[in-house]
Amino acid sequence: MISLLIVDDEKIIRRGLESVIERQFPNLFNYRFAENGQEALELLSQKPADIMFTDIRMPIMDGIELLEQLQEHSVRPEIVLLSGYNQFVYAQKAIRFAVKDYLVKPVIREELFAVLERMIKEIRMREERADKAGEDASLVAAELVTQHLTQKDVSDAVTQSKLKQAGFSLLDERYTLGLLTRRGGGSEPGRTDAASFRHQIAELLQGHMDWMLTRDGEGGTIMIVRDPVMFYQLSERWAVSGYDSQLRIAISKSVQGIEQIRWAYSQAKQTLKYSIVLPELDVLDYTSINERNERHVVPIELIQRILNLMGMGRGDEIKQLLAQILDIRIIRSSEIGYLERISQLLNEELFDKLFRIYGHKILGLLRTYACVGHIGNFERFEDYYIAVEQLLDSLDRFIQDRREQVPTEQNTMQKVLAYLQTHYADDLNMAVVSNHFSLNYSYFSQAFQEYSGENFSNYVRRLRLDKAKELLVHSDLKVYEISEQVGFENVKHFTRIFKDTEGITALEFRSQRRRFKT
**Residue-wise pLDDT tens digits, 468-482:** 999 999 999 999 999
10-residue block means of pLDDT along the chain (518 residues)?
91 89 88 93 90 90 86 82 66 63 85 91 75 56 78 70 72 91 59 72 86 82 92 93 88 91 92 91 89 78 91 91 94 90 91 80 82 87 95 90 63 88 90 83 80 87 93 92 92 92 91 79
400 and 425 co-located in one domain? no
Helix axes 156-165, 137-150, angle to 10 degrees: 170
251 pairs with which residues across the strands?
178, 285
Residues 419, 463 within the same domain: yes
Whether 222 contacts 214, CB under 8 Å: yes
**Bond into 106 cis (ω within 30):** yes
Q: How many domains does the chain have?
A: 4
Quote the CA–CA distance of 381 and 387 in Å, as a whole number. Answer: 10
Predicted TM-score (pTM) of this structure:
0.52
Give the per-residue pLDDT at 445: 83
CA distance 144 to 150: 10
How far does CA 180 lie from the centroid of its chain?
Answer: 22
- pLDDT computed for residue 12 by the predictor: 87
| pLDDT for the residue numbered 479 | 92
Going by the DSSP 8-state scheme, the letter that residue 189 receives in this structure is P
CB atoms within 10 A of CB 94: 20
Which amino acid, 433?
V
What was the pLDDT predicted at 94?
Answer: 55
Helix (H/G/I), strand (E/B), else coil: 327: coil
Q: Is 149 domain-assigned?
A: no
d(CA 297, CA 142): 43
Question: Looking at the structure, do residues 213 and 283 belong to the same domain, yes or no?
Answer: yes
Do residues 400 and 422 share a domain? no
Q: What separation, in Å, do the N-terminal and C-terminal C-alpha atoms of the chain show?
A: 95
A 10 A CB-CB count for 420 gives 19
CA distances from 437 to 118, 407, 425, 432 (A): 69, 16, 18, 9
Spatial separation of the C-alpha atoms in residues 242 and 258, rounded to whole Å: 36
Q: 389 and 313 in one domain?
A: yes
Secondary structure of residue 224 in the 3-state scheme? strand
pLDDT one-digit tens code per residue, 337-353: 999 999 999 998 998 88
Give me the domain span that covers residue 314.
300-404
DSSP states along 47-58: S--SEEEEESS-
Q: What angle do CA 421, 422, 427 make, to 5 degrees?
A: 95
Tell me the C-alpha distance between 55 and 88, whole Å.
12
Instruction: Mark whether 169 and 264 lie in a shared domain.
Output: yes
Beta-carbon neighbour count of residue 433 at 10 Å? 20
Q: Helices (DSSP H) in 47-108: which residue ranges?
A: 63-70, 88-94
Q: Are residues 374 and 324 in the same domain?
A: yes
List, in order, residues 6 or more apart from 85 with CB less than 8 Å away.
Answer: 104, 105
Distance CA 393, CA 374 (A): 19
Q: For residues 400 and 488, state if they share a domain.
A: no
Does residue 137 fall inside a structural domain? no
H or E element, residue 406: helix 381-423
Q: Is 138 domain-assigned?
A: no
53 with 17: CB under 8 angstroms?
A: yes
Same structural domain for residues 313 and 377?
A: yes
Beta strands 211-215 and 221-225 are antiparallel
Asked whether residue 86 falls in the same domain as residue 12, the answer is: yes
Euclidean distance between CA atoms 89 and 281, whole angstroms: 58
461 and 421 part of one domain: yes
